[in-house]
Amino acid sequence: MSGLGGLNKSDNGVVIGLVQLQLPVVATPDDLARQTARIVELVGKARRNLGTMDLVVFPEYALHGLSMDINPAIMCTMDGPEVAAFKAACRNNSIWGCFSIMEANPGGNPYNVGIIIDDQGELRLYYRKLHPWVPVEPWEPGDLGIPVIDGPKGCKLGLIICHDGMFPEMAREAAYKGAEIMLRTAGYTAPIREAWRFTNQSNAFCNLMVTANVCMCGSDGTFDSMGEAMICNFDGTIVAQGTTGRADEIITAEVRPDLVREARANWGVENNIYQLGHRGFTAVAGGAQDAPYSYMHDLVNGRYRLPWEESVKVTDGTPSGFAAPQRLYGESRKEAAE
């Protein structure tokens, strides 16, 4: 179904390009400016590479690298020069783009943010990572939910980031809000390779949804990212995959949101996202529409607790060199100090 990587585009197709971006080292504002320019260059490469491409996707940490540095001097703002450069690149190349920034947060730690910009240079999606990769990542937990937008050619498009994809609830929520294509950007390194592959496929199959997923690539002298771009069809099969680990390679494929809509309407067996809320509809009219899952009720009521909670050893960021936090969720630094 990839249309030879998008070379042969159908009337209903959306062509996606996943950039296995070379992992950078960014420690200063000058480094940040250089990496911004590099990403802009690759937006142009994507357009020249494939005239049929609708959307180019850059990995998490594309701008900041994997240092986990929260130095205010290299944090971004939505009205800053980096986002402005990405908007201009999309507008100048008539292409949609998905980008990653670490955004300054005066009330707490920076947010790990994903944005989608349309081919006119307008911001269309703004997402704060809900599940930072603890204990390693210091980012503030996101507080805006999972937005779903009308993407290129009218597809329903969602975005999650890296570790988010290890929680089946994230992909389910994106699909529940209508996403036909879910992007997953990541900075994962090789130890996560197998989990990355099967969660990308299961997120697609369990929700009858296309998933398009990409990691950083290459080495920064400390970390080795793996590339591993993957586009999975709604039945969980892999449509396209980056297997060479070649930095800056763009993995492309055509996907068909219209076939996602068709499957969601017509599948009986394994239409799991529908059947979750209509259990046993063969036996009872409309199926059981209860919520039989204890963890859902406990999470909503603020009493989520595992049977083995007391034995969990890593419960803050101190093993990764971060001070134990003093703020509660929702508190600003100022409120916590009072």
**Which residues are catalytic, by number?**
60, 129, 162
Helices 168-176 and 193-205 meet at what angle, rounded to 10?
Answer: 30
Name the residue type at position 38. R
CA atoms of 215 and 20, how far apart (whole Å) = 6
**Which residues are within 8 A (CB) of 337 and not within 5 positions of it... i.e. 6 or more apart?**
none
Tokens, residue 249: 């390679």
CA atoms within 13 A on the CB side of 163: 15
Q: What are phi and psi of 249, to 5 degrees?
A: -70, 145
Residue whose structure tokens are 């134990």: 324
Contact 242, 248 (CB under 8 A): no
Sequence-ordered strand ranges (E) for the chain: 14-20, 55-57, 96-103, 111-117, 123-128, 148-150, 156-161, 181-186, 210-215, 217-219, 224-226, 230-232, 238-241, 249-255
Please identify which residue in the block is written with the tokens 């595992």: 306
Query: How does 294-309 read in b/e, with b if 16+ C-beta sit within 10 Å?
Result: eeeeeeeeeeeeeeee
On the question of a cis peptide bond just before residue 132, with omega within 30 degrees of 0, the verdict is: no
Cα–Cα distance between 202 and 270 in angstroms, integer?
12
Residues paired with residue 181 on neighbouring β-strands, in sequence order:
157, 210
Kindly tell me the sign of the dihedral angle through the C-alpha atoms of 165, 72, 104, 325.
Answer: positive
